[in-house]
Amino acid sequence: MLFNSLSFLLSFFVFYLFYYYSSFRIRKLLLLFFGIYFYSRWGIGATFLLFGSIIFNYTIAIWMDKCSFGKRKQIFVLGIITNVLYLGVFKYFLFLWGMFSDVSVELGGQPFTWKLNLLLPIGISFYTFHNISYLIEVYDEKINVCKNFFTFTLYDLFFPLLLLGPIERPGNLIPQFESNRTITKEQIWNGFFLFCFGVFIKSSIADPLSRYVEMNVNSFQTIEPGILWIIAPTIAFQVYADFFGYSLCAMGLAESMGFELMNNFKRPFFSSNPSEFWSKWHISLSTWLRDYVYIKLGGNRHGFIRENINLMLVWFLTGIWHGVGYGFIIWGVYLGICLVGYRFLKYVGFTKFQHLIFSSLGIFFTFITFSLGLLLFRITSPTDVYLIVENLMSFPKFEQIPYGLLLIIAPLLIFDLWQEWKDTNRPSFFHNQNPLQVTFIFVLGFIWFSLVSPFAKEDFFYFQF
């Protein structure tokens, strides 16, 4: 059930009527039941697995809270290992099995014919990271253990962020479930417009760009020379519009119900270096990896070489978190090399020059390196890497450039330019605007949506992760 589907809109409308006029206790029950209903639409088996994860992590945290330090650490390690294994079995087992089969063939053996039919629960990476961060925060005594099972269940079953995040911190989200929050008219309207704009850029920008990419890149062997210089930036805007659109929808839905989620994007394509880019793209994941992996490994406290080894390990993990396949591993290593390369330039003083020209060149090269990296997601064999490099050795012909794509991405660019000019920390294009301006923007967006967006619905790009 997609956010931009009629079934969700009708279901949420009915749910919200009851939610808005209910008491605090009834609202929590409604949120719980609607979360179960929303997630169950993707498969009842996945729902049982999610509840198994919820019960396990709730029990581990309670158990850990009652024990002495030595025992507490053992329980904590058990909880973390179990969560990692849970994610590993359902997400990576089949890939590892296939990899061992490939190795067997290379060594002269037979391919493995037996395969385990495993369910891959949607959103498993997000809610598993949710639970790991909860256990870490409880163990480090940064938050108190949540003893109310229904509140903790909501932490994992809060439907706006259940499928694709953001990966909210327990210290931010759980207290919001425990407090009786008044919903203001400002929250309703701002949430409504954030949701509408999220659906707009998903359906009118991300989906058309996705169809263009799929029409032109069936195989790296058959594409025209140089076309990847067009395809790569198109994929970048497609992924951005898709995931940013989902994040806006999640923020809007949550705000209309009186909750505040963290901002997951902050105009990343205006970043002048890779380090700045990853502080503005998928912020919840970047900060999660920084706080729970990079810093735990020692961060930058043990010298320049150790710092960059830690970075490479973090980005290797980032690659395999995003998906199973050789392309994701190569993508993670590639981005790690980009970051380490930038830090080396910074270390030797090359980045100390502050000038508009250097900043503009930095924005251009940061965008291009990120865009080219997204091509690695589509790798199915080592040969594809060679074909990508070979294609990039040429440049597209003038008539191959689809100028219509600029028209499609124009609303997103205008929105980000507006936000950059206002230097906002959260998307607030419709916040505190004149009612006439809001009406004009909404009508204009509806007309654009009607002209550009077909009725066909595409899954959100990050569903595969």
Cite the active site residues: 322
In whole angstroms, give the CA distance from residue 362 to residue 350. Answer: 12
DSSP-derived secondary structure letter, 107: T
In whole angstroms, give the CA distance from residue 423 to residue 22. Answer: 37
In whole angstroms, give the CA distance from residue 197 to residue 195. Answer: 5
* Category of 456 on φ-ψ map: left (φ > 0), alpha (ψ -120 to 50) or beta: beta
In whole angstroms, give the CA distance from residue 449 to residue 269. Answer: 24
Instruction: At 294, list the tokens.
Output: 């990079």
Residues in the chain, how many?
465
Q: Which helix (H) or strand (E) holds 56?
A: helix 44-66
Contact 57, 83 (CB under 8 A): yes
Nearest to 241 by CA among 213, 273, 200: 200
Q: What is the CA radius of gyration of the chain?
A: 23
Residue with tokens 């505190």: 432
Long-range contacts of residues 59-64, Cβ cutoff 8 Å, at least 24 apart: 60/135, 61/134, 61/135, 61/138, 61/145, 61/146, 61/152, 62/145, 62/147, 64/135, 64/138, 64/139, 64/145
The three-class DSSP label of residue 337 is helix
Nearest to 351 by CA among 304, 341, 267, 266: 341
The three-class DSSP label of residue 395 is coil
Contact 148, 26 (CB under 8 A): no
Phi, psi angles (nearest 5°) of residue 42: -95, 0
In whole angstroms, give the CA distance from residue 2 to residue 199. Answer: 10
In whole angstroms, give the CA distance from residue 115 to residue 352. Answer: 54
One-letter amino acid for residue 105 of the chain: V
One-letter amino acid for residue 156 of the chain: D
CA angle at 370 for the pair 397 and 380, rounded to the nearest 5°: 80
Give residues with Cβ within 8 angstroms of 21, minimum separation 6.
none
Other beta carbons less than 10 A from residue 180's beta carbon: 10
